[in-house]
A and B are shown apart, each in its own frame.
Chain A
Amino acid sequence: MATTRFRTLNTPFGKTLRTVLGASLLGTSLLAASGLAQAQDMKTVAITQIVEHPALDAVYQGIKDELADEGFKEGENLKVMHESAQGNQAIAAQIARKFVGDQPDVIVAIATPSAQTVAAAAHDIPVVFSAVTDPVGAKLVKSLDKPGANITGVSDMLPIDKHLDMLQRVMPNAKRIGTVYNPGEANAVSLVNLLDERLKARGLTLEKAAATKTSEVLGAARSLVGKVDAIYLTTDNTVISAAEAVISVGERADIPVFAADTATVERGAVAALGFNYYNHGRQTGKMVARILNGASTADMPVETMDQLDLYVNPAAAKEMGITLSDDLIKDAKEVVKNDK
């Protein structure tokens, strides 16, 4: 019956093609034996990242710059391999396998999904993760103090308490805080849960608005109007990509928007005590350099961000109906002058 429909593609070369295919498969496995030929003092660092994105790209740049400052110059005594999975996890898995097969000195994995695929594949190569919010929840390490195995890294868990201190310093009367987040993003969800817990401890309430993609951010931000006194944005990738949507709602409805990363202040948020992913990458680079110099991952606790800078944007504050006090502006490391 239905078999006739398959006959159309019949080719007299079927057999030949299969032979060619078989031969090429055999060829690849033979080629597998030839590894990386490299000089004795040449170190190799393989960096995998789940997707290209301004924050994650900044991490990558920070790692390379820090390694250069530590004396590992690309092309001279350092070979850097870099792959992005372009958001596809099956490709992330293959990148992990490729890197493990190439036997570099250190594998760096940027963001949670990439780190998990590398952790599943690498059994003896040192792995340093970066931009992972909850390394214990992601089962990358047993505990932050004692990672235990071949994996350690830098967590981008936000110092939420310090951020809320800053927010309350600017707006002491704010009672209801709103946030927009992507319920499908692992990092964002752990941050929002933590935010909820910390706000409750301060007697404040959290109003959440979900956006599963950038096009939904505007609607989600609008749903907060009338329900909140201020909006605080975490480092949610989806929301930060569309931060302008939240900021425009904040300007129109006079709801001040605070951010967790400094770049968003430059785009029109009131203030951030941040967190800059380039420095995050530099901190990661330091750990990588220590491993290249012979340190063992088992002795290296997971680090969190140690450098926080206050960025303020007085013009944006005015747009959103508040004035920043002079001593806050004096404390700021960077006062953003242009409005947006």
Chain B
Amino acid sequence: MLSEIAFFGALETGLIYGLVAFAIYLSFRVLDFPDLTVDGSFPLGAAVAAVLIIHGWNPWIATGAAILAGMAAGAVTALLNVKLKILNLLASILTMIALYSVNLRVMGRPNIALLSEDTVLTPWYDLGLAYHQVPVLLFSIVIVVALVLLWRFMKSETGLAMRATGANPRMARAQGIATGGMIVLGVALSNGLVGLAGALFAQSQGAADVTMGVGVIVIGLASLIGGEAIVTPSTVFRALIACVVGAILYRLAIAFALNADVLGLQAQDLNLITAVLVTLAIVLPGVRTNIAAKFSRNKA
């Protein structure tokens, strides 16, 4: 079964992808803006952080710069949509493919190794914890801070205006909300979170690679939907918790899929097993609800 290191590895990756799930929640759920920019802003965050780190910058400042770079990418997508009236999905695809070239320019080469560099994790290794526990500790702190900030933001006046923009743009405009500005701010925030995730991922995995954004959107969506199926997102706080739970469960599912060789399954079956596990995670709670509904109807 799962070894301790594999378990912590799943938590570590899950916590990073929890940030991606927050981002997808912001764009898909709050703003109703299907945003595929994340496949490009994830490696963008990694690229910016990696380049600054190998040039001797403080890793936290490098990570901050990665957030800003992600926000800029998100703002471009939103402006394409709001100002140039390009369909939101198409606008995000345009930014995503453009970012591939941008990322290569930023890095100057397709892969920047960080294996022997000081990263945000370096000082934490002196705490006396095992190697595999350190990233989990640090990333837990990061995600709790991000969760609290997002939660407070959603309850602020601007946050409420943003939620109104997504729920009913016409009504929001009638209330005097500048919906265009809200879309730009929200999509920028969303991609800033993704940039942060990319920067942290590069630092914990030892390299930034231009191909590392492949499938980020799919994993983020699967995490979000899976989480929502388990933790009912009746409030913003619960929705954010659902993101984290979904992302971690997705990673645990993969860790189990990697351990499925006892069943005669092979490496190439991994994607299929993952899809089946994620489908089960999404569907099963619904099935239980249906059964419960039937029972209560019978009683009535």
Contacts and interface: CB of A to CB of B under 8 A. Distances in A.
Interface of A: 1-3, 5-7, 9-14, 17-18, 21, 25, 28-29, 31-35, 49, 52, 81-84, 86-91, 93-98, 100-103, 112-113, 116-117, 119-121, 123, 137-140, 183-186, 188-190, 212
B17 A1 contact: no
A189 B9 CA distance: 31
Contact of A183 (B110, B235, B258, B289): B110
Contacts of A121: 5, 9, 131-132
Given A21-B230, A97-B6, A34 B1 contact: yes
25 contacts: A1-B167, A6-B232, A6-B234, A9-B233, A12-B292, A13-B288, A17-B285, A21-B230, A21-B249, A28-B1, A32-B1, A32-B3, A34-B1, A49-B267, A83-B270, A89-B214, A90-B201, A100-B9, A101-B4, A116-B115, A120-B206, A121-B131, A139-B206, A184-B210, A186-B110
B270 A6 contact: no
Contacts of A103: 3
A98 B3 contact: yes
B285 A138 contact: no
A120 B258 contact: no
Contacts of A116: 111, 113, 115, 205-207
A140 B115 CA distance: 7
Given A88-B214, A101-B6, A113-B111, A5 B207 contact: no
Nearest to B159: A2
Interface string B1-28: 1111111111011000100000000000
A137 B9 CA distance: 26
Contacts of B211: 87, 89, 113, 184
Contact of B292 (A13, A28, A212): A13
Contacts of B1: 28, 31-32, 34
For the complex, would chain A's binding face be called helix, strand, loop or mixed by DSSP majority?
A: helix
Given A9-B233, A13-B288, A83-B258, A97 B132 contact: yes
A112 B229 CA distance: 37
Count chain B CB atoms within 10 A of each CB in A1, A25, A90, A100 and give the residue with the most: A90
A86 B270 contact: yes
Contacts of A25: 252
Nearest to A193: B109
Contact of B245 (A13, A21, A34, A89): A21
B206 A117 contact: yes
Contacts of B116: 139
B67 to A, nearest CB: 20
B65 to A, nearest CB: 21
B115 A9 contact: no
Given A9-B229, A90-B17, 11 more contacts: A13-B292, A33-B4, A94-B255, A94-B258, A102-B3, A103-B3, A116-B205, A139-B113, A139-B206, A140-B113, A186-B110
Contacts of A7: 234
Interface in B195-247: 201, 204-207, 209-212, 214-215, 219, 228-236, 238-239, 245
Contact of B254 (A81, A91, A117, A140): A91
Contacts of A83: 258, 267, 270
B230 A139 contact: no
Contact of A1 (B9, B164, B207, B288): B164
Given A14-B232, A101-B9, A183 B104 contact: yes
A121 B6 CA distance: 10
A184 B100 contact: yes
A91 B270 contact: yes
Contact of B4 (A29, A91, A190): A29
B298 interface: no
Contact of A119 (B109, B115, B209): B115
A95 B111 contact: no
Contact of B230 (A17, A101, A189): A17
Given A10-B232, A139-B206, A98 B9 contact: yes
